[in-house]
Amino acid sequence: MLGASLAVLGAGLLETKEASAFGEEGAFNPRPLLTGNARWEGVRTTAPGQWAMELERRTSAPSRRSPKPVRADEPVLLAEPFVLWGGDADIPPLTAREVSGLWRFIALGGILLVDDFAPETGAFTRAVKRELGRVIPEGAAIPIGPENVVFRSFYLMQRAVGRVEGTRELQAIVRGGLPQVIFSAHDLCGALAQGEGGPSVAITPGSDRQRELAIRLCVNIAMYVLCSNYKDDQVHAPFLMRRRASGDDGAPGGARSPGRP
């Protein structure tokens, strides 16, 4: 499993209690990634905690309900196998230490989700791809859709969706046959964020169904991080078979069959 492998390697490199604990517990920890002078603030600050809560509520997987941001040049980046890099605008060039830190994270098998909060402009995604070109020059993003494990790790999803409906596909840099850097032009954090009175960010075009599908995609990403080849694990096959039989496959617009458009 990617998650367990990275945790073990990270523990050896860092010799920290936190890294060792992750390997034992296998908890999902959606840590926000920070670079430069960026800070994790604004209406989406609750999104990682909400993500962890939804995963626990819908599956048997453990999670960390109070994820803490981590910087790309901090050794603790290597302690766990997942980070969330979100933003809505261009970013400054990565420092040499940040490039090195991200290279080590990816080399160890870490999974990075790039979530564009303003996919209408795409400035953040373009900037991240530019900087990742310095981290893994050989990595080019390709579209991934319903045939990919990310769309089938727990819910059977027919398309990607977030705060904005966006494109039907995600993009990913695939290494070793598995998506390792996943790009979402859907603002998943915007769909997750909650305030005292409920959701913090309005859905576009707007429906409870759309928000539900966005949460399901987030659960799928989490299960992929934890289990990698989860879809092929016979222990979990009955859950997928029952969901397929009932038609609750996560398809938008009330579609019931994984084969329906």
Domain spans in the chain, listed from the N-terminal domain onward: 2-34+43-246
pLDDT of 86 above 80: yes
Q: Return the pLDDT at 24.
A: 36
Q: With the CA atoms of 99, 101, 104 and 107 taken in that order, what torsion angle do they form, in degrees rounded to the nearest 10?
A: -60
Q: Return the pLDDT at 5.
A: 40
Q: Which fold has domain 2-34+43-246?
A: Rossmann fold (3.40.50)
Q: Return the pLDDT at 139.
A: 87
Mean pLDDT score across all residues of the chain: 83
Helix axes of 2-14 and 208-227: crossing angle, nearest 10 degrees = 60
Q: What is the C-alpha to C-alpha distance for residues 27 and 59, in angstroms, rounded to an integer? A: 12
Lowest mean pLDDT among 5-19, 101-115, 140-154: 5-19
What are the CA-CA distances from residue 20 to residues 8, 26, 27, 256 (Å)?
7, 10, 12, 42
At position 109, the amino acid (one-letter code) is G
Cα atoms in the 13 Å half-sphere on the side-chain side of 62: 8
Q: Are 155 and 250 in contact (CB under 8 A)?
A: yes
Per residue in 181-215, pLDDT (tens digit) is 999 999 999 999 999 889 999 999 988 999 999 99
Q: What is the C-alpha to C-alpha distance for residues 25 and 114, in angstroms, rounded to an integer? A: 25
Q: Would you state the structure tokens that stand for residue 200, as one six-digit string?
A: 């913090």
pTM of the prediction? 0.80
